[in-house]
Amino acid sequence: MTPLRRNVLALLVRAGEPIKAYDLLDQMRSEDGSAKPPTVYRSLDFLMDVGLAHKVEALNAYIACAHCHDKGGAELYICGKCGSVDERHGAPEPRNAPDGFETERSVVEHYGLCAKCR
């Protein structure tokens, strides 16, 4: 874990909500003016590979992961109104995986309204 990666993770955790790569970059630049987009994306890729972060495709943003995904993927419940994302553990094995397919990681996104916004 490099200082840069740790810094990106700390920013994700501090945000407590989905944050876009460029907002991360802005925050990093306030501490380190030399931060560049490719290094931010590489750090995010690393954090996702080791299961410490997820990309929320629907929002094109990233969140820190507080779960252990040894078995099963993540399920993200995304509120279309306030943009909150609630992460839950997915099923241990995808039910409709093709024969012989070995799943390494999976993220399922559910769209709707959270309890507060309903």
Residues that bind Zn ion in the complex, under the rule CB under 5 A: 65, 67, 74, 79, 81-82, 114, 117
Min. distance of Cβ 100 from Zn ion in angstroms?
26
Paired with 87 in beta bridges are 76
Min. distance of Cβ 30 from Zn ion in angstroms?
27
Min. distance of Cβ 1 from Zn ion in angstroms?
18
What is d(CA 79, CA 41) in angstroms, rounded to the nearest whole number? 25
What is d(CA 65, CA 54) in angstroms, rounded to the nearest whole number? 7
Q: CA–CA distance from 96 to each of 69, 91, 106 (Å)?
A: 19, 11, 13
Nearer to Zn ion, 29 or 71 (CB): 71
CB 19 within 8 A of CB 31: no
Min. distance of Cβ 33 from Zn ion in angstroms?
32
Nearer to Zn ion, 24 or 52 (CB): 52
Nearer to Zn ion, 23 or 75 (CB): 75
Q: Would you tell me how many other CB atoms lie within 10 Å of the CB of residue 25? A: 17
Nearer to Zn ion, 12 or 35 (CB): 12
